Structure 1
Amino acid sequence: MSFLQINQYELLPFDLAAKPTMDRYLASLNLDTSDYTFAANYLWLSGGSGFYSVIENTFCFFLLTNGELSMLLPPIGKQDDVIKAITICFNLMEENNSAQIYTKIDYVDEFIASVFVNELEEGAELFDLLEDYVIERTLVDYVYDCVDLIELKGNAFSAKRNEINKFKRINPSYEVDILDTNRHTPGIMELLNKWISDRMKYLPVEQTEAFLDGIHSERIAVKRMLNDYEKLNLIGLVIIIDGKVKGFTVGEKINVDTASVIIEKTDFDILGCAQFIFREFAKKLAAEYGVSHINVGDDMGFENLKKVKMSYRPSKLIPKYTIYKR
């Protein structure tokens, strides 16, 4: 993959070789937001679309879409360096882009956004900078207490408990196994293909094009996950029924206390499998990795996904923002 040259700045391809550099800068943060890891971004990027550069001693992560440049995260580094890097990054995007609408920074964690605004309001020079930008709240991450997901106590979780009990009753021979790419890759790909086929059966015609675009990215993400599983330090479980993979889930530790779910798929025909694997993953993360919270990411603006994630009663919602140039 080639690099991009904009003025004197060289933007390098965002591939596995970028992991040590990004990890070094991320280590200075202690955020629960799902987007602030190497794996979360690497898995979902299509080939050739991610670039990075170290600017003003910050890690700056760019996305190239149809020739237009935006940022998938704000510059990552010390506060004073971030403020300086933001100005440079916006100048680089403006230099490259055909329209102002593409010039933006997505997935800005609320802590970073608040630091940015507070810092800008403290002095005249920085306040002038604020006048040039708009900070818009966009999505939220859903974070749960592991104990709640494991115990599923109370009336609010009665439907989840019933689904899990039904799954165990109908499938007494189920197995929960640690994901092993050497053994499970063919079964995971077979399940993914079945999941796509089943989803297409009930998809409204007007949503077909958007779904096909999305599923292309999802297939790339699953394949990358399987190819680079160990290099990315991922954690995964599979559900096996009668020798076949009927569910898989993959995540990672974001920090000492919080882990994420990056990809999860279950067979539509196996009732309760989704609820069951989610609880089993929470058990594993709590028992073996000392995790107290699980972040399942945002809902991408889909109302049905929002309902599912809210049904698990999140203990915290983490707002994320987009910064635009005025």
Structure 2
Amino acid sequence: MIFTPIALEHKPLLDPYLTPKDEHPLSDFSFTNLFIWRFAREIGYCVIDEFLLLKTCYPKSEPYFFYPFELSARSAEERRGVLEILLSHYPKATFKSLSKDQAQELEEFFPQRFHISPNRDRFDYVYSIPELIALSGRKYHKKKNHLNKFFQAYPDFVFELITPSNALEVEQTYQKWYEQNPNKDEALESEKKGIFSCLQNLSSLSIIGGLIRVDGEIVAFSLGEAIDQSNVVMHIEKANTSILGIYQAINQQFLANAFSSHQWVNREEDLGIEGLRKAKLSYQPHFLLEKYEAH
């Protein structure tokens, strides 16, 4: 069982497996997500009996796996068969980012083999795009106030889509912000490499980028993608925090200009970071997508 590290050239092979099959797909399973985070951890793939297996391994850690991906509907017995092959090679295998149905099926296949539990820190936050564009009503009152203050302070701001012609400028801007960040660490460095890799390969990925300029300077940018006709995943959002209301502005402007025809935006997980959880909850998610782990 040989796992090949993912690279851009593998996108045509992996995309059909990663095509969403649920009404509200988890954020983890797009090629772009894997592509961004391949600098933070080893991510490899293996195809067995027309099932795609993904293995992830952080430095100095045991690998973990995602549930097998199918090109087309397969039987439970076929899924159990490929899982048995995987477990014969990796007897201590653990699984992450399982849907509730996958967790239940794994438990049925291998009773007593796994301890399965939800991981709240990894739940995805899903929001209504029309609501985040309009920010109407009492529940969005504070967000709308911040947004209006930005509009009032910077009436001549400019929103642009990120293209190969301005991508290098976005890189240079974020490099400057990164160098000024007193809290940078290995994780942030890996994220920066992933961001730059996306910006350098915009035309080859399914990703869309947007940015805001104030007085000609880039003050915020975001990277996201439509993963089907209804759902968008927001992968990256960065801004100059000295500008009041800038995060509300890039969030609202990017959705309004790039994804207004879609219904739902998945803004990914909070990783158990208190400030991030508070910020994500403040945008009033319509629901959280549960993720389970099996150890």
> How high is the TM-score relative to the length of structure 1?
0.82
* Deviation of the 1:10 alpha carbon: 2.0
- Name which one, 1 or 2, has greater alpha-carbon Rg: 1
Displacement after TM superposition at 1:111 (Å)? 3.7
- Please give the residue correspondences for 1:290-301 in structure 2 after superposition, counting only pairs within 5 Å: 290-301=261-272
Of 200, 209, 220, 1:247 maps to 220
Q: 1:11 maps to what in 2?
A: 3
| Alignment deviations for residues 138-175 of structure 1 (CA, whole Å, 9 cap, x no partner) | 12000001121011122221111111111111112210
Is 1:130 the counterpart of 2:89? The answer is: no
User: CA distance change for structure 1 residues 56 and 66 in 2, over 3 Å: closer, same or farther?
Assistant: same
Which residue is 1:323 aligned to?
294
* Aligned partner of 2:103 among 100, 110, 113: 113
- 1:206-230 deviations in Å (ceiling 9; x for gaps): xx5xx50221111111111111212
1:35 is matched with which residue?
A: 28
- Percent identity for Structure 1 against Structure 2: 24
Within a 5 Å distance, the mapping from 1:1-326 to structure 2 comes to: 9-27=1-19, 29-30=21-22, 31-46=24-39, 49-66=42-59, 68-77=61-70, 78-80=74-76, 81-94=78-91, 100=92, 103-117=93-107, 120=108, 126=109, 129-138=110-119, 139-186=122-169, 188-200=170-182, 208=183, 211-287=184-260, 290-324=261-295
Residues 291-313 of structure 1 deviation map (CA, whole Å, 9 limit, x = unaligned): 10000000011111010000011
Query: Is the CA contact 1:184–1:245 (under 8 Å) kept in the aligned structure 2?
Result: no
Where do 5+ consecutive residues of structure 2 fail to align?
none
Query: How many Å separate the matches in 1 of 2:218 and 2:96?
Result: 35
Contact 1:191-1:247 at 8 Å conserved across structures: no
Task: Calculate the TM-score normalised by the size of structure 2.
Answer: 0.90
Letter in 2 for 1:34: S
Letter in 1 for 2:87: F
Kept in 2, the 8 Å contact 1:70–1:93? The answer is no
Q: Distance in 2 between matches of 1:48 and 1:104?
A: 16
Q: Which has the higher helix share?
A: 1
Separation (CA, whole Å) in 2 of partners of 1:111 and 1:17: 32
CA RMSD of the aligned region, Å?
A: 2.1
